[in-house]
Amino acid sequence: MKFDILTLFPGMFSGPFDESIIKRAKDKQLIEISLYNIRDWAIDRHQTADDAPYGGGAGMVMKAEPLAACIDSVKTLNPASTVVLTSPHGRRLTHTIACELAERPGLIIVCGRYEGIDERIRSLYAEDDISLGDFVLSGGEIAAMAIVDAVTRLIPGSLGSSESAESDSFGDGLLEYPHYTRPPEFKGLTVPDQLLSGHHELIRKWRRKESLRKTRKLRPDLLSAAVLTREDRKMLTEIEQEEVCGM
């Protein structure tokens, strides 16, 4: 997978992309990340990449010319890659969308800044538009990091042998079950007996039920879209009964 990131602040990526899973994936040559400073395509001596908006108003707008030239240059190198804008207008990033993006040969991620980009860039180049949610960030760099991280985890071989993307929250449409490690007792709270039993089927059922319980409590909206088995529905009924009984 090839990630090309177009940004006004390439220095922001040096830490996040040099640690943990992303670093391992780069070392294994499972992914390749290239950073491009949009200002390098500006035509004036001040490398101007923004200007005041037509019609007036606060803030600045990213100029069309340097951004278009940058996209054209990178697209020439990787013609099969998808141009993705990071902006509040986009689809909200979900696990399903991350899976969709992971199937593509490459992503050219354009990081918005200031009041946004000249709308003509969206009209001429955007093949996808991604948002992290309904809140304001200083720019699209953090969104780009999130996209790269979410997609990289889904690439076979990127996770260690003890890690699994399938069991993560949202991997099956539900929140993940609670986790515990040593010691077995901490400040009066103990690890559930099922996890200490060594009984694989008992552990599986406990984890599934707790996943359903957590999703029902914290994100009930996910249950309506999740594919539930007969066992899942039975567990949900048990959870409802336990809540009624105050268990």
Residue 82: partners with Cβ closer than 8 Å, 6 or more residues away: 101, 104, 106, 107, 108, 127, 128
Catalytic one among 4, 50, 118, 153?
153
Q: How far apart are CA 70 and CA 133, in angstroms?
A: 27
Residue with tokens 């040969």: 105
In the residue annotation, 134 being an active-site residue is answered as no
Among candidate residues 88, 128, 232, 238, the one labeled active-site is 88
* Catalytic-residue membership of 153: yes
Contact predicate 78/4, CB 8 Å? yes
Per annotation, catalytic residue among 51, 100, 168, 172? 168
Q: Cite the DSSP H helix spans in the chain.
A: 20-27, 64-77, 95-102, 119-125, 141-152, 193-196, 200-218, 220-223, 230-244
Residues 6+ apart with CB under 8 A from 107: 1, 2, 3, 4, 81, 82, 84, 101, 147, 151
Is 182 an annotated catalytic residue? no
Beta bridge partners of 2: 32, 106
Q: Is 51 a catalytic residue?
A: no
Catalytic residue numbers read 88, 115, 153, 168
